[in-house]
Structures are given as structure tokens and as C-alpha cells.
Amino acid sequence: MVGAEYRIALNGVYRMADRPASSPEDAAPSLPGLGGGEAPARVPVLLPLPLAGAYDYKVPPEIPVRPGDFVLVPLGRRQDIGVVWDRLAEDGEDIAEARLKPIEHRFDLPPLPEVVRRFVDWVAAYTLSPTGTVLRMAMSVSAVFEQPARPTVAYRLAEGVDLDRPAAKLTPQRRRVLDLAAAGPAMTAADLAREAGVGSGVVRGLVEAGLLAATVMSLDDTPPQPDGARPGPALSVDQAAAADELRQRVAEGRYSATLLDGVTGSGKTEVYFEAIAAALRQGKQVLVLLPEIALTAAWLDRFAQRFGAMPAEWHSELSGKRRRQTWRAIAEGKVKVVVGARSALFLPYPDLGLIVVDEEHDAAFKQEDGVIYHARDMAVVRAHLGHIPIVLASATPSLETNANAEGGRYKRLDLPARHGGALLPEIQAIDIRKHKPPRQRWLSPPLRQAVAETLAQGEQAMLFLNRRGYAPLTLCRACGHRLQCPSCSAWLVEHRLVGRLQCHHCGYSTRMPEACPACGAEGELAACGPGVERLSEEVAELFPQARASVMASDTITGPVAAANFVRAVEEHEIDIVIGTQIVAKGHHFPLLTLVGVVDGDLGLAGGDLRAAERSFQLLYQVAGRAGRAERPGKVLIQTADPDHPVMRALVAGDRDGFLAAETEARRRSGMPPFGRLAALIVSSGEASHADATARALARTAPRGEGIEILGPAPAPLALLRGRHRRRLLMKVRRGMDVQALLHDWLAQVPLSGDVRVQVDVDPYSFM
């Protein structure tokens, strides 16, 4: 039964809306056959496994259950925890009463709310995933089902400790622990050490010094919750108008989607905080989705200042204990605000009143493995099913969202100016064909000069290069051999600081060899092209006096490291920030007045559907880091193609013109959101098996008016983690039922051996 990923029962009642997910007017499926009445003697139970659907179980009289209850049931020779699901009208197939196994136990937890069950069904049907696989995302860790543990000892900041005026000088490690203890709920010593990234001795020392105080933590204790009655800052006229609108949406208490469209620094966060306050005053729960949770330290600080308490965080780095505690408190409605990454969408909120998706255009919202879904689109669906408002915030809305706003499906609220009168930075392109950097260097003379001037004025500069490591390619000068990953079709990236070569796709890593593995020549391996590490060498050589620091996902490994880095920049302990895309988002550095984009053309290579759009968004975001306070900012973009529409739009500050041109191009080519795409990725350890299945899929592909099939072709990453990959792309006219087409198509091609077919509806990655 577990077999092919796509062979699932697409239930007739969940007919998909024939439109992009991000405008799900018809998302709410009607569910005939559900309803009250007598407690049934048998119920369907959905298990968090890749099975075709729910299985029926017998309800023993001593364990009455309702839909949504978490129950323990026998499954083959083992047991598993599942959820009592709803009886759907079209469920057929009757197993004889006598053969049914009984439910063994009901957990003492609030039932999974009906709206969450419908959401699980919806996402499963939309993404062609087994419903149980989607359910697993809502069930989080199995630990939530264990008996509440005995009370444990936890630590919080001791009474009377003033972190702004500590009695003795604090080491940075001690400081991190104390900051954490001051901000959050009481935590165990182990959790404190882990989240602050220090050894357990540091925590012990703080306890002995009387700076941390022990308390008894019961897992049912909920920390103080954000207070919606606290006053916010005085808002500008535009901000106040937008905030009023949003408060109104919250007051209405029905589905609405609003695009909060404002330039970087215009105060979008302050404005949606007002909507959050309104929802809190109604006693509702609020979900805020952020694209990259590792970068939210500053956001959390602001939130805590505004609302007097921290929200609950939800992301992959939570410890098991916190995860379990948070999940339960959300299910019980005790936690009021959750801020999280994609997966926070599937939590069992009993009383969600508002969803906010910040940086809605961000590609990080697309989950690319397991259940492949776009969290922003699914958030809109969740809002629709729950009859609640959703706010999408961005300075560079995605083309899809923009089209929805133009079409009147979303309401648009504009914040046209930066807060406090700060000006948007001036953006210039530097044609590097005319202003060549020296050989094996990457900063052109005009950019070097601008950095020098910025430093001379006591201000800060940021150099943006979206490439981790030292060099993206290592080449043998003797034979031309390129060092490649053994299990991916990708070059190995040199990370010189750690002396290794890494594959950025599978994590493979190896020591830098002395000799070329192909021809054996020694000392001939040469680094080609720059990464941020190499750029920092050039910076050190040009500006030996300046304090420069690299910020990339491998140097900033977690929320604490990110917060420390941000603080160091804010306190002007750093003059030049060298960073990858993680510096592009969100930060507000008042002294930062120059942003230099080292390779403006990088994101345009490869030519996937959204290359131009994404490139524009990323560069616009980076540019938005400059000049956010009184001092005006300047942005220099190095490019070999200053006439490219993306560069021209950036320089002219013509975001809307760019969006309009891109939208027109998509309309003409029938690409999303004017047509719909779905990708099939066939993979196998054997190239010939992948090819055979891909050819079989091509033969049985749906045909007809409005349907176009592209491929099969080797995926750009034709080998990934040792699996050979082939892609097919289905492009259909808007209004066609993509899921039904895919379902019929896939049902015709049986899979054998290790061949897998991944279905990606509304693909974002074309790798």
C-alpha cells in the first residue's frame, strides 16, 4: 500500500479550485455526509503514514471518540497514533464488522480542529500527496503524545539582575545565556546551553553566581502572553490608514486577503502589528510566517517590545521538549501568537483569527522536499477554510500576488514612503566591461572608491555576493579537469577557512587534494571565481584598517549567532559587511550607507521562469539595506549587462514598470499565473530506469487543447545524491483541473524498483 507516492485516493468531494492556489475563492470544499448523530460503532482513523487513506477501526463502548481525537490503534503487528477522521459521503469499501480492529486508547488532548482536518485534506489533494503524510506535519513530534513529564527544574533570570548594568563584566557567552533567560520562558539548563551555543559549565557558573534562579517548570506552564491592549507607536498618516483597514478586516472575522505593499523601511511591520493587536484583543490566535527563522532575532525583540511578551517560535531548531510544550499550548489555545517557518502553518490552532505572511515573495516559502507546497499559497487556503483574514506583506510583491491584487481578489494597501522621511537609496549600475576589476579581483575601481569614501565618513558598507565559500569552481591548470561532486552533477565549492571542498546540494565534503585527481599534476589546482571568503581577502588587502566580517549561512549558524552579528553591526564593531542573501532581508542598520552588489548578473543565469523576478526582488531588498536612517544611502550594482530590464528597472526605481512588463511577458507565454505548471521529477539510482519511466510518462501524457508537455529532459541537476533525474513539465491553460490530469496520467505508469516520481504542482525550482 505504501508504494508509489502518487497513488492516492483523490476524493471526489475535494474538487480542486481551477485556479492558482493563491486565489482559492472556492477552496472550501463542501462535505456532504459529515455530521452529528449517534456515536458510530466504527470510525475512520487517519495515520501519519504515506497510506492511501484512512482505515476503519471499531469503537469500543468504553472509549467514545469524536472526529479529531488522537487515538492509538493497532496496525499490522505494531501500534500507531492516528486521528479519528471524518466519514466522507463517497467512502465505499466496507470491511466486515467482525474483521475490524478496535481503537486501543484515546489521548487526553484537544481534538485536531475540523478546519485543520479539512486543511490537511486540501493540501494532500492539491499536492497529490498521501493525506497521512500531510497529517504528519500537523502532528509534529510523537513526544506530544507522551504523558506529561514530571516537573523539571528550569532557570530564569534571577530577581534584581539588570542586564543593562551588570554588577560584573560579562563574557559574551554568559551574556548570551542571560539574554536568552531574560527574553523567554524558563528553560532547562540543557536547553539554555544548547540554544545559546555554550557549554553546560557556563550555565552552571551563572547559577552559582546567583545570576540565574531555579524554578520548577511544569510542562503545562504557559509563559505570559503578548498583550494586545498595550499602545503602539504613533503612526504616520499612511500607516494609520493602512492599520485601520487591517483592524477592520480583523473585526469582520471572515476571509479576506490583503497585500501590504510598502517600500523597505516604510513600517509594514508596525502596521501589521496593529492587526495582531486587534486579533489579540478578540482573544484570537495569530500566526506570523517569516521566510527565514534564523534571522528573526531582531523581529522578536521588536515584537516583545510592542506586546510585552515573546511569541511562541516554531522552527526546525526547537528542542524536543520545547516543541512538545509549544504544540500542546497551541492546541489548548494558550499560546496566542506563533511566529514560524513554513511548518507552523500545520499546527492545530483551535482559534486562529489572523495570518500574516511577511516577505510574501520569498522563495524560501516553497518547500521542496517531502510534501512539496508553497507556504504562502497554502496560508491563503488556510485563511479561506478558517474564514479569517490574511495579510501578505512585501516591498517587492510576487508577480502572482500582484496579479491577484490587480484583479481585485486581494485588497492592496500602499505605504509609499520610508518612515521618518528617510529617502530610498540611489541605485547605479557599474558596467564592469568598462570598469574592469584587476585580474583575479572582483571589485571595480568605482566600487573601491565608494567603499573608501564611506569608510572615511565613518559609515558602514555592505558588499553583497550570493555565493558561499571561497570559490565556486576548482580547475586543474594542467588538464582542465573540474572538481565535481561524486553523487551530484555539480561543482565542488572550496571553503578555504575549513580547508575543504563541499557540495552545496548534498552536503558531501572532502579535503582539498594536493594533486589533480584526473592527471595527478601537483600544485596546479586553481580557484576560479569568487565566493564571499575570497572577497573578504580582497577587502582585507584594500582596506587593511577596516573591520570586515562575513555573514553567510555557514558562518551564521543559528538564531543566536545571527543576533550577535546584527548587534555587532548595529554597534559599529564592523565597518564592512560581506554577505550572501542572508544579509539581504529585514535588517535595519542606521549607519549603513553603501551597498555594493558584486555580481548583479548572478541570479539571471540559468533562465528559469522567475529568474528576472527573483533577481529584481533580491537586489531591491539588498538595496533597501542602505540609508535607512538620516544619512542617505547609495547602491552600486556591478553588471556586464546594464541594459538588462532588471538593471534598468532597479536604476530607474521603476518597480511597477518592471512588474507590468514581466506580467505581460507571462501573459503572452501563458505562464503562471496565466497558465498553470506542474513538474514531474523521475529519479532512480540507474540512469536507464529513470529514462524508461520518463519515456513511459511521455507516451501516456495527457493530450488535448490547452495542454502542453515539455520533456522528458535531464534535469539541470541530472544527478543528485546519487540519483539520476529526469523532468517533465506540464503546462495547461488556466481553468483546467491540474490535479485530475496528473492523477489520471500517473495512474497509467506503474513504478518499479527504486524509481520515484515526485510531483511538484506550481513548481518554483527548475533544478
The CB-of-756 to Zn ion minimum distance in angstroms stands at 18
111 binds ligand ADP, rule: CB under 6 A = no
CA distance 246 to 412: 11
CA distance 712 to 718: 12
Which is nearer to ligand ADP, 291 or 763 (by Cβ)?
291
580 binds ligand ADP, rule: CB under 6 A = no
User: How does DSSP classify residue 544?
Assistant: T
Contact partner, 23, from ligand ADP, Zn ion, none, Cβ < 5-8 Å per class:
none
- Helix, strand, or coil (residue 678): strand
The CB-of-273 to ligand ADP minimum distance in angstroms stands at 8
Which is nearer to ligand ADP, 419 or 689 (by Cβ)?
419
**The one segment of 75-83, 258-266, 528-536, 712-720 that binds ligand ADP by CB under 6 A:** 258-266
Contact partner, 419, from ligand ADP, Zn ion, none, Cβ < 5-8 Å per class:
ligand ADP
Which is nearer to ligand ADP, 581 or 693 (by Cβ)?
581
State which of residues 264, 555, 639, 683 lies at the interface with ligand ADP (CB under 6 A): 264
- Helix, strand, or coil (residue 421): helix
**The one segment of 161-169, 265-273, 677-685, 707-715 that binds ligand ADP by CB under 6 A:** 265-273
Contact partner, 267, from ligand ADP, Zn ion, none, Cβ < 5-8 Å per class:
ligand ADP
Task: Give the residue among 275, 277, 268 at the shortest CA–CA distance from 586.
Answer: 268
Cis peptide bond upstream of 166, omega within 30: no
Please list every residue from 212 through 241 that binds ligand ADP, using CB under 6 A: 233-236, 239
767 binds Zn ion, rule: CB under 5 A = no
505 binds Zn ion, rule: CB under 5 A = yes
Query: How many of the chain's residues bind Zn ion (CB under 5 A)?
Result: 7
User: How does DSSP classify residue 588?
Assistant: -
The CB-of-264 to ligand ADP minimum distance in angstroms stands at 5
Which is nearer to ligand ADP, 268 or 315 (by Cβ)?
268
Which is nearer to Zn ion, 506 or 521 (by Cβ)?
506
State which of residues 262, 472, 579, 672 lies at the interface with ligand ADP (CB under 6 A): 262
The CB-of-316 to Zn ion minimum distance in angstroms stands at 21
265 binds ligand ADP, rule: CB under 6 A = yes
Which is nearer to Zn ion, 508 or 543 (by Cβ)?
508
Contact partner, 96, from Zn ion, ligand ADP, none, Cβ < 5-8 Å per class:
none
State which of residues 154, 161, 488, 552 lies at the interface with Zn ion (CB under 5 A): 488
Phi, psi of 729 (to 5 degrees): -125, 130
State which of residues 23, 266, 367, 663 lies at the interface with ligand ADP (CB under 6 A): 266
Grid cell of 629 as nine digits: 536612517
621 binds ligand ADP, rule: CB under 6 A = no
Contact partner, 763, from Zn ion, ligand ADP, none, Cβ < 5-8 Å per class:
none
Contact partner, 262, from Zn ion, ligand ADP, none, Cβ < 5-8 Å per class:
ligand ADP
Contact partner, 503, from Zn ion, ligand ADP, none, Cβ < 5-8 Å per class:
Zn ion
306 binds ligand ADP, rule: CB under 6 A = no
268 binds ligand ADP, rule: CB under 6 A = yes
State which of residues 312, 432, 501, 503 lies at the interface with Zn ion (CB under 5 A): 503
Contact partner, 485, from ligand ADP, Zn ion, none, Cβ < 5-8 Å per class:
Zn ion
Please list every residue from 581 through 600 that binds ligand ADP, using CB under 6 A: 588
Please list every residue from 391 through 420 that binds ligand ADP, using CB under 6 A: 419
508 binds Zn ion, rule: CB under 5 A = yes
Chain centroid offset of residue 342 CA: 5
The CB-of-525 to Zn ion minimum distance in angstroms stands at 19
719 binds Zn ion, rule: CB under 5 A = no
Contact 155, 192 (CB under 8 A): yes
Please list every residue from 180 through 219 that binds ligand ADP, using CB under 6 A: none
392 binds Zn ion, rule: CB under 5 A = no
Which is nearer to Zn ion, 107 or 508 (by Cβ)?
508
- 702 CB burial (10 A radius; 0-12, 13-18, 19+): middle
Bridge partners, residue 461, by sequence: 576, 594
CA distance 481 to 113: 58
Contact 533, 498 (CB under 8 A): no
Which is nearer to Zn ion, 15 or 505 (by Cβ)?
505
Contact partner, 48, from Zn ion, ligand ADP, none, Cβ < 5-8 Å per class:
none
Contact 9, 85 (CB under 8 A): no
Contact partner, 15, from ligand ADP, Zn ion, none, Cβ < 5-8 Å per class:
none
The CB-of-489 to Zn ion minimum distance in angstroms stands at 9
- Helix, strand, or coil (residue 663): helix
Contact partner, 285, from ligand ADP, Zn ion, none, Cβ < 5-8 Å per class:
none
Grid cell of 641 as nine digits: 549587462
Could you give the angle at which helices 237-252 and 268-281 cross, rounded to 10 degrees? Answer: 30
Query: How many of the chain's residues bind ligand ADP (CB under 6 A)?
Result: 15
- DSSP assignment string, 215-257: EEE-TT--PPPP-TTS--PPPPHHHHHHHHHHHHHHHHTS-EE
Contact 682, 726 (CB under 8 A): yes
Residue 214 neighbours by CB distance under 10 Å: 13
- In 3-state terms the chain splits into helix, strand, coil percentages (rounded to 5) of 35, 25, 45
CA distance 665 to 192: 52
CA distance 70 to 333: 17
Which is nearer to ligand ADP, 302 or 733 (by Cβ)?
302
The CB-of-509 to Zn ion minimum distance in angstroms stands at 9
| First-to-final CA distance of the chain | 30
CA distance 139 to 324: 10
Which is nearer to ligand ADP, 266 or 536 (by Cβ)?
266
Grid cell of 191 as nine digits: 536547553
Q: Number of C-alpha atoms within 13 angstroms, CB side, residue 256? A: 18
The CB-of-396 to ligand ADP minimum distance in angstroms stands at 11
For the stretch 236-241, contacts whose Cβ atoms lie closer than 8 Å and that sit 24 or more positions apart, written own/partner, are 236/267, 236/417, 236/419, 238/266, 238/414, 238/415, 238/416, 238/417, 239/266, 239/267, 239/270, 239/271, 239/415, 239/419, 241/413
H helical segments located in 511-632 = 532-542, 559-570, 611-623
Contact partner, 506, from ligand ADP, Zn ion, none, Cβ < 5-8 Å per class:
Zn ion
State which of residues 47, 206, 462, 485 lies at the interface with Zn ion (CB under 5 A): 485
Amino acid at 1: M
Which is nearer to ligand ADP, 245 or 599 (by Cβ)?
245
- Helix, strand, or coil (residue 617): helix
437 binds ligand ADP, rule: CB under 6 A = no
The CB-of-60 to Zn ion minimum distance in angstroms stands at 51
Contact 249, 389 (CB under 8 A): yes
- Give the residues lining the site for Zn ion (CB under 5 A): 485, 487-488, 503, 505-506, 508
- Give the residues lining the site for ligand ADP (CB under 6 A): 233-236, 239, 262, 264-270, 419, 588
